[in-house]
Structure formats: structure tokens, C-alpha cells
Amino acid sequence: MQALLADAAARAHRYLADIEARSVAPSPAALAALAAFDTPLPAGPGAPADTLRLLDELGSPATTGMAGPRFFGFVIGGALPAALAANWLATAWDQNAALHRPTPSAAFIEQVALRWLLDILHLPPTCGGAFVTGATVANLTALAAARHSVLARAGWNVEADGLFGAPPITVVVGGEIHPSVSKSLGILGLGRSRVVKIPVDAQGRMIPEKIPVLSGPTIICAQAGNVNTGAIDPLGEICRIAHAAGAWVHVDGAFGLWAAAAPSRAHLAAGISDADSWATDAHKWLNVPYDSGLAFVRDPHALQAAMAITAEYLPTQSEFRNPSDFTPELSRRARGVDIWAALHSLGRSGIAHMIESNCTQARRFADQLAAAGFEILNDVVLNQVLVSFGDAARTQRVIAAIQADGTCWAGITVWQGRTAMRISVSSWRTNEADVDASVAAMIRVARATP
Ligand SMILES: Cc1ncc(COP(=O)(O)O)c(C=O)c1O
């Protein structure tokens, strides 16, 4: 075991040391070599060292350099050193971190991490929290609490009786709702399409004046951090309108919630603490390893009512917080450990610095690309930049050529009818030299692409 784990650590270290110099996209040869995995199931046991060697020799070269400093696709954080190391240790613990009594260490560390998260994100300290797989499940979890609460107030127990015959719930969303929120609404029986869609402005922000008169059980789904522009809905105004009508406000803040942790960006998220529930990712801007998301709910009882279960064989009775009382999962890894480690290692100022650096780097991208004559389609307020290289076909060709060049990686999107390259700066590893090298490659490739 010792030699095997030392070998794994050495291979992982080599992978991360090489990542700055290698092509961000895997080479066609590395992709072709994956076919060597496709053997018949081994007839019996082999040496674990051979299993690891095969994984590293075939698997590592065919990865995309998401852990490196010049991956700007989707919204992808790297893994902070302390978070990665903590993740390894917690994996060795192999705790089923559902309940406090059998896994006191994992459960207690998670509870401390929750307190720190609420502090750094300026959310009410008494919120309930769920450590889940990602923002999709965090949205689902928080919206289940919302569904519980608005129906309980109408005299209906949705966990016991389901939605058949329940009072109808009005769901209000912005025109730029992320599909993971729509999916959550679908899973919860509230409908992906059975929503009132509110028009948005040029940056994708919900226009609060367009919210209709609200009555009866109502949930408003707002957004902090549009996946294309980074824009944050006017949350204070949305909460004011909603709460005057007794509606619940949920904020999908997969990455944008972290604006609240950075003094220079916090004004963008003004009013965020007035909402009733929030979803965010830790594997995005907190830079912990995949997968890791968070749901926070102002009324912890609503979250617990939606999620907690009991069974004769489960030691659920505890004076301490049981993690799985707040999550869709029962069996679960000790996700709070990586998060605790990230927060402990960076502290308040380190987190603020990471968020602010990425925002400054996004601005640097936008300024240099604009100076080179390319059009920036969004107001660069956070960590997202949208670039056009001309018409849709040319922009597509340039993006494909940038990805193939391998200096950096950025993806494609369509923003309000315009095809664009999305640059999302979300990694602790990225520095100004990475931005400059990436911009130089983008300009060189764009000028060489017809
Ligand atoms: C605004 C927003 N909400 C939700 C999600 C879904 O997050 P995850 O992929 O972690 O489930 C994303 C992902 O990019 C996002 O940007």
C-alpha cells in the first residue's frame, strides 16, 4: 500500500508539474491511445501498480488541462493545493459522511466549513446548508426546501402527499435562467416550461419592473452570475418585490455568489443576503476538486423537512448536525473536508484575492483583445468575457483553431443571437503571464484563420 500510494502521489505530482508546459487540449495521438483501455475484463486479480501505471500512461495524456492555468472553458476552478491534499486524506479515511455519530470528524469539520462559508459569503449565520455534488443538485435541494415552505404555508405537506391536488405554485424565472435550474424545476414536478419568464436586459439581468403582480404560493428564481456575461440580477429589488407578496426568492449563484467574498465586487451582489435560498459551487470559484456544490437555506427547518429521513437501522438521533439531514444523498463522501481545507488555507483575504485576481485577469483579456480589434460583447464585471471574431462561421473557425493550437482553451456560446468565444477565468493557478500568453495565441490564431 505504501509504495502504491507513493507512486500515485509521484505520478499526480508529475502530471501537475507538466501541466503548465503541455498543450491544454489532448493530442490526437493521446486520444487514439485510449483504445488500449478497451480490453476484455481481466479474468482475475493483477498487480495494483500495473493498474495505476496503465491509468497514468494512457489516461493522463488524454485529459484536458483543466487543472492548469490556461483553461478558460465552461466555469472551471483548479484544485488548491490544500484542498487537493485534504481530498486525498479524506479519501483514505473513506467515511460515509451521512451521520454525525458514526463519522464525527467529517461531520464536525463540515459544520465548521458551513459556518465559515456563511460568514465569507455574508449570508445569515443561522442558514441550513447542504454539501452536494454541484450547483445543479444545490439548485434542486434549495428549490425542494422552497417547495416545502410555500406549500406548507398554504396548508399542504408536499413531502407526505406529493403534488397531486396541491395548491398550484407560481414559478417566476429570468429569461436567462440556467438550464440546471429548469431541470431542477422539472425534477421537482414544478415543470421546466410551466414558468413565468421575466425579460432581461442586455447583460442578461432580470428586469424587476416586469415581474407581474404575485399572489399565492410563489417561488422566484434569480441568478447571481450569468454563465455568459457574469451579470448578477438586481437581487435587492427582486427580494423587495417578492417578499411584499410573501414569495420565496432562490438565487442560482453557481459562481457569482463568490462576488460577495471580494470587497471590490461585493456591490454587484448587493441585496443577496435578503434571499431565502442560494445555490453555489465549490468546484468552480472556491477551487476544490470535483465534485462539490453547496445549497444554503435561510430557514434550516424547511431544508431539513425536504431532505431528512429516519430508519430503524440509522443512528439519526444526535445532538449534533447530521449532514444527510440536509442533502438528497444518504451515503456521501466527506465533501466538507476539501472545502474546510480551501477556506483554512486561504483565509478571508486569500479567498478575496483569488476572486479579485480572476476578475482583473478577465478585464486584462478584454482590454487586450479589444485593443487588437476584436469585439467584446459583454460588460466585463466579473470573470466572464465574450469575444466575437466576426460572423458566426468565422468565430466558430477561430475558436476551433485556438483549441487545436493548445496554448489555452476557451469554449463557444451564442449570446443574444451572436456567436462568441467564452473566456471564464476561475483558477487560482492563472496569472498575468498566462493571460498575456493566451491573448497572444488568440490574436495569432485569429489573424491566421480565414
Ligand atoms: C449559473 C449556473 N448555474 C448552474 C450551473 C450548474 O453547475 P454544475 O455544473 O456544478 O452542476 C452552472 C454551471 O456552469 C452555472 O453557470
Q: What pLDDT, on the 0 to 100 scale, is given for residue 319?
A: 87
Question: How far does the centroid of ligand 1 lie from the alpha carbon of residue 184, in Å?
Answer: 12
Measure the CA–CA gap between 286 and 348, rounded to whole angstroms: 12
pLDDT of 351 strictly over 90:
yes
Q: Using the Cα atoms of residue 100, residue 106, residue 109 and residue 114 in order, give the sign of their dihedral.
A: negative
The one-letter amino acid at 162: G
CA distances from 264 to 259, 349, 353, 419 (A): 8, 12, 10, 30
Q: What pLDDT, on the 0 to 100 scale, is given for residue 315?
A: 81
Q: What pLDDT, on the 0 to 100 scale, is given for residue 256?
A: 98
Whether 180 lines ligand 1, by a CB cut-off of 6 Å, is: yes
Atom of ligand 1 nearest to the CA of 283: 10
Q: Which residues of 3-33 are buried (b: 16+ CB within 10 A; e: fewer)?
A: eeeeebeebeeebbeebeebbbbbeeebeeb
Atom of ligand 1 nearest to the CA of 227: 16
Whether 75 lines ligand 1, by a CB cut-off of 6 Å, is: yes
Q: Which of 72, 141, 177, 180 to mutate to test the pocket of ligand 1 (most atoms within 8 A of CB)?
A: 180
Percent of the chain clearing pLDDT 70 (strictly above): 100
C-alpha cell at 155: 396548508
Whether 222 lines ligand 1, by a CB cut-off of 6 Å, is: no
Q: What pLDDT, on the 0 to 100 scale, is given for residue 442?
A: 98
Whether 252 lines ligand 1, by a CB cut-off of 6 Å, is: yes
The rounded mean pLDDT for the chain is 97
Whether 177 lines ligand 1, by a CB cut-off of 6 Å, is: no
pLDDT of 63 strictly over 90:
yes
Q: What pLDDT, on the 0 to 100 scale, is given for residue 372?
A: 98
pLDDT of 244 strictly over 90:
yes
Atom of ligand 1 nearest to the CA of 293: 10
Whether 254 lines ligand 1, by a CB cut-off of 6 Å, is: yes
Measure the CA–CA gap between 274 and 256, rounded to whole angstroms: 16
pLDDT of 318 strictly over 90:
no
Atom of ligand 1 nearest to the CA of 291: 10
Segment 25-33 long-range contacts (CB within 8 Å, at least 24 positions apart): 25/64, 25/65, 25/403, 25/404, 25/406, 25/409, 26/61, 26/62, 26/63, 26/64, 27/61, 30/61, 30/62, 31/62, 33/58, 33/61, 33/62
pLDDT of 118 strictly over 90:
yes
Residues of the chain by 3-state class (helix, strand, coil), percent to 5: 45, 15, 40
C-alpha cell at 223: 441568478
Whether 234 lines ligand 1, by a CB cut-off of 6 Å, is: no
β-pair type (170-174, 196-198): parallel
Whether 407 lines ligand 1, by a CB cut-off of 6 Å, is: no
Q: What pLDDT, on the 0 to 100 scale, is given for residue 407?
A: 98
Whether 256 lines ligand 1, by a CB cut-off of 6 Å, is: no
Length in residues, the chain: 450
Whether 293 lines ligand 1, by a CB cut-off of 6 Å, is: yes
Mean pLDDT of 40-53: 98
Strand partners, 415: 418
Nearest residue to 296 via CA among 433, 146, 403, 99: 146
Q: What pLDDT, on the 0 to 100 scale, is given for residue 187?
A: 98
**pLDDT confidence band for 312 (50 / 70 / 90):** confident
Q: How far is CA 197 from the centre of its chain?
A: 23
Q: What pLDDT, on the 0 to 100 scale, is given for residue 205?
A: 98
Question: How far does the centroid of ligand 1 lie from the alpha carbon of residue 245, in Å?
Answer: 29
Question: How far does the centroid of ligand 1 lie from the alpha carbon of residue 136, in Å?
Answer: 6
Q: How far is CA 292 from the centre of its chain?
A: 8
Q: Which residues of 36-54 are buried (b: 16+ CB within 10 A; e: fewer)?
A: eeeeeeeeeeeeeeeeeee
pLDDT in tens, 223-234: 999 999 999 999
Q: Which of 136, 223, 257 to mutate to test the pocket of ligand 1 (most atoms within 8 A of CB)?
A: 136
Question: How far does the centroid of ligand 1 lie from the alpha carbon of residue 325, in Å?
Answer: 23
DSSP H or E stretch at residue 151: helix 135-153
Measure the CA–CA gap between 22 and 409, rounded to whole angstroms: 12
Measure the CA–CA gap between 20 and 70, rounded to whole angstroms: 8
Whether 289 lines ligand 1, by a CB cut-off of 6 Å, is: no
**pLDDT confidence band for 294 (50 / 70 / 90):** very high
Measure the CA–CA gap between 341 and 344, rounded to whole angstroms: 5
Q: What pLDDT, on the 0 to 100 scale, is given for residue 311?
A: 83
Q: What pLDDT, on the 0 to 100 scale, is given for residue 314?
A: 83
pLDDT in tens, 90-107: 999 999 999 999 999 999
**Does pTM surpass 0.95?**
yes
Measure the CA–CA gap between 76 and 415, rounded to whole angstroms: 20
User: Do 414 and 420 form a contact (C-beta atoms < 8 A)?
Assistant: yes
Question: How far does the centroid of ligand 1 lie from the alpha carbon of residue 180, in Å?
Answer: 7
Q: What pLDDT, on the 0 to 100 scale, is given for residue 310?
A: 84
User: Do 177 and 194 form a contact (C-beta atoms < 8 A)?
Assistant: no
Question: How far does the centroid of ligand 1 lie from the alpha carbon of residue 254, in Å?
Answer: 5
User: Do 330 and 240 form a contact (C-beta atoms < 8 A)?
Assistant: no
Atom of ligand 1 nearest to the CA of 139: 4
Question: How far does the centroid of ligand 1 lie from the alpha carbon of residue 351, in Å?
Answer: 20
Nearest residue to 206 via CA among 187, 169, 181: 181
Cell 456521501 belongs to residue: 332
Question: How far does the centroid of ligand 1 lie from the alpha carbon of residue 329, in Å?
Answer: 19
pLDDT in tens, 134-182: 999 999 999 999 999 999 999 999 999 999 999 999 999 999 999 999 9
